[in-house]
């Protein structure tokens, strides 16, 4: 009897949208080169029409693919990454994150273990907040776990992976959403095509710069408002946002 060939492992494309991220992108790409690149099918940075030296930063990292998206907006940059990538699973992080050891291995293992897994996400930790502020900021993710059980899904925009087949069924990212609520929209729509899992082990270190600039209570209120609006109305409650660089 002929041997059954092993099922090929799904390939993973890592996609990093970046707008004027010359200060944070080197830390992100250093972590990617150390902890992710060896396991990833490709690493892509989408320059979202930056006016600083973001492009020059990317050029210093051999093997990183540079894509350009003229129309500013996180969903538009992610869509450009989708169209310009070839992996079976698309993993998205933000330019101010620092993917840790074992992160991409968790993605590989969890998608291999469950054919019905559509999207995987996990919490942030904040590398530039002090102990108390980091603890308070992480309180959102304590709330998020039971909330995800009630609502059925939750995704953190700077720390998620999704099957290409699911994104194709979704029609890609909703480019009409400017900023707030885009991750909730991903979770809501991906959940129609499989399981959306929020794993507390899939931790992503990131910057707390937005909370430092605008305050934790204000940011928490905006995110909660838009979470509810997307889940129950299908569209965000707010459109405007401030770039924090």
The string of pLDDT tens digits covering residues 60-79 is 999 999 999 999 999 999 99
d(CA 237, CA 229): 6
Tell me what pLDDT residue 39 has.
Answer: 96
Tell me the two tokens of residue 187: 């979770």
Strand intervals (E) in the chain: 12-18, 42-47, 64-68, 89-93, 117-121, 124-126, 159-163, 195-198, 204-206
Tell me what pLDDT residue 236 has.
Answer: 72
Q: Taking the domains of the chain in order of start, what are their residue ranges?
A: 12-233
Tokens 């490709």 found at: 42
The string of pLDDT tens digits covering residues 21-44 is 999 999 999 999 999 999 999 999
pLDDT for residue 199 is more than 60: yes
CATH class, 12-233 region: alpha beta
């Amino acid at each position: 009897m002929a041997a059954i060939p092993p099922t090929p492992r799904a390939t993973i494309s890592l996609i990093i949208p970046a707008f004027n991220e010359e200060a944070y992108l080197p830390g992100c790409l250093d972590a990617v080169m150390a902890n992710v690149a060896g396991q990833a099918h490709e690493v892509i940075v989408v320059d979202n029409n930056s006016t600083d030296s973001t492009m020059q930063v990317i050029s210093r990292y051999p093997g990183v693919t540079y894509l350009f998206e003229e129309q500013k907006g996180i969903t538009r940059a992610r869509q450009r990454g989708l169209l310009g990538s070839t992996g079976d699973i698309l993993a998205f992080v933000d330019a101010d994150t620092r993917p840790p050891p074992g992160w991409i291995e968790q993605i590989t293992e969890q998608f291999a273990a469950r054919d019905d897994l559509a999207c995987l996400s996990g919490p942030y930790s904040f590398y530039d907040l002090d102990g108390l502020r980091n603890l308070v900021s992480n309180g959102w993710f304590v709330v998020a776990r039971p909330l995800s059980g009630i609502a059925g899904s939750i995704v953190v925009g700077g720390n998620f992976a999704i099957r290409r087949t699911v994104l194709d069924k979704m029609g890609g990212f909703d480019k009409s959403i400017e900023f707030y609520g885009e991750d909730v929209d991903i979770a809501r729509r991906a959940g129609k095509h499989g399981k959306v899992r929020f794993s507390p082990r899939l931790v992503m270190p990131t910057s707390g710069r937005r909370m430092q600039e605008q305050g934790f209570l204000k940011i928490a209120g905006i995110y909660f408002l838009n979470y509810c609006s997307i889940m129950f109305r299908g569209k965000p409650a707010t459109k405007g946002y401030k770039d924090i660089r």
